[in-house]
Amino acid sequence: CGTVQKAIHDAKEDIQRTMDDNTKTNAEKKRMITELVNEVEELSTQLDHMQQYDR
């Protein structure tokens, strides 16, 4: 369960790094951030399912 939380945390850090990256165009940033946000949402869903089974 902790691995999913870590993955979410890492993805959020990646989003921050992407926003701070001046070598990329806004279009590139937007695409990367969209992918990361989707990843975070998927992981959050997995986490919800796991926590339901833990109860």
How high is the pLDDT of residue 50? Answer: 84
Question: What element of type H or E holds 12?
Answer: helix 2-20
Average pLDDT over the chain, rounded to an integer:
91
Please give the share of the chain, as a percent, with pLDDT higher than 90.
76
Confidence of residue 31 (pLDDT cuts 50, 70, 90): very high
Alpha carbons 21 and 18: distance in angstroms, whole number: 5
User: What residue numbers bound the domain in which 34 lies?
Assistant: 2-54
Question: What domain count does the chain have?
Answer: 1
2 vs 8, higher pLDDT: 8
DSSP 37: H
